[in-house]
Amino acid sequence: MAIADILKKLLLGRAFVAEDGRMTLLGRYDVCLYESAAFAYLVQMYCRWVGHKKALKIFKESGKIAIKKAQEAFGIKLSISLLKNFHKFMEFYGWGKFEVISFKYGDKEFDVKCKLSNSPIVENGKKLFGKNSNVCLLFIGNLSGVFSSLLGKDVEFVETACYAKGAPYCVFESRVKK
């Protein structure tokens, strides 16, 4: 069963609690909601305020924290299945539809290419800032952090196509730092 399917069942099975000002899964995984246009604005302004390089570094570290907390809360261990299905977990957060275009993983290689469509964050970034939208830095940083944490080596993602800049969807590709 895919991770997103498990999380959806948790919601329906009342393992999701929203009370006393907190939203929690399984009594130990805290989550929050934020309106998409406001979140796109927040990300864009944050990138402007601290600069792209620093924002990307902070988003990468936040991705590491997120995957660590998910692993602890759900007892998830690194596996090829987890790596291949990371996108299902990201979809659960409402960040958009992630699809793996290509995936290679072995002792000496790691290559992931994924696309993101139907993202309310990117769509609102485009509406608010047009081709000057930088909201995809959030995805680049989070993908980099998640995979760096899972693989125990420095992984960077780059965006090779962007919806906000005119592509039909965003495309992110991994780059393993040596």
- Predicted confidence (pLDDT) per residue in 49-77, tens digit: 999 999 999 999 999 998 888 888 777 77
* Structural domains of the chain, with CATH: 36-176 (3.30.1380.20)
Query: pLDDT (tens digit, 9 = 90+) per residue, 8-33?
Result: 655 555 566 666 777 776 666 777 77
Strand order in the sheet with 110-117: 97-105, 110-117, 170-176, 155-161
Is 132:118 a contact under the CB 8 Å cutoff? no
Q: Is the pLDDT of residue 148 over 70?
A: yes
Q: Is the pLDDT of residue 100 over 50?
A: yes
Predicted local distance difference test score (pLDDT) of residue 12: 55
Taking residues 75-99, what's their average pLDDT? Answer: 74
- Quick one: 178 exposed, middle or buried, by C-beta within 10 A (0-12, 13-18, 19+)? exposed
Q: Is the pLDDT of residue 139 over 80?
A: yes
Q: How confident is the model at residue 1 (pLDDT cuts 50, 70, 90)?
A: very low
Taking residues 103-113, what's their average pLDDT? Answer: 83
Choose among 34, 16, 113: nearest CA to 8: 16
Is 174:155 a contact under the CB 8 Å cutoff? yes
Q: What is the mean pLDDT of the chain?
A: 84
The beta-strand segments (E) located in 51-164 are 97-105, 110-117, 155-161
Predicted local distance difference test score (pLDDT) of residue 24: 74
Is 143:63 a contact under the CB 8 Å cutoff? yes
Distance CA 119, CA 146 (A): 19
Measured between alpha carbons, how far apart are the two ends of the chain, in Å?
Answer: 34
- To 5 degrees, how large is the angle CA 117–CA 23–CA 76? 65
